[in-house]
Amino acid sequence: ETGVTQTPRHLVMGMTNKKSLKCEQHLGHNAMYWYKQSAKKPLELMFVYSLEERVENNSVPSRFSPECPNSSHLFLHLHTLQPEDSALYLCASSQDENRAPYGYTFGSGTRLTVV
């Protein structure tokens, strides 16, 4: 366990379904991130939250909707996805620190299959 927990580990959903991915950290970090990793592609940064405010949205389609109710929890709400959205979705957290860099702590990811 890394300290960042993602649920579910695996998810199969139809294109008309609505589902949510959950990420939880109790590391005292103030920044949380969603990444997407498709087969044979580098990790793609999707969203960044710092102190519960979204600070970056990397041109992600609106069928992906993030939510950060507090600094320990991050959700990714999914609706009307496409098969090409099938991927490993990774959550990460880090200390939001101006003065020094800190490494990211990643969860184990949710393997999403859209059918």
Binding residues for other proteins (CB under 8 A): 2, 4, 33, 35, 42-43, 45, 48, 56, 88, 90, 92, 96-101, 103-109, 111
**Residue 15 or 38 having the CB closest to other proteins:** 38
**Residue 65 or 108 having the CB closest to other proteins:** 108
**Residue 94 or 114 having the CB closest to other proteins:** 94
65 neighbors 80 (Cβ within 8 angstroms) = no
Q: How far is the CB of 108 from other proteins (least distance, A)?
A: 5
Q: How far is the CB of 54 from other proteins (least distance, A)?
A: 12
Q: Which two tokens stand for residue 91?
A: 């959550």
Q: Which two tokens stand for residue 56?
A: 């970056």
State the distance between the two ends of the chain, measured CA to CA, in whole angstroms: 30
Q: How far is the CB of 40 from other proteins (least distance, A)?
A: 9
Q: How far is the CB of 99 from other proteins (least distance, A)?
A: 7
Cα–Cα distance measured from residue 59 to residue 5, given in angstroms and rounded to the nearest whole number: 26
* DSSP letter string, 58-96: -S--TTEEEEEEETTEEEEEEES--GGG-EEEEEEEE--
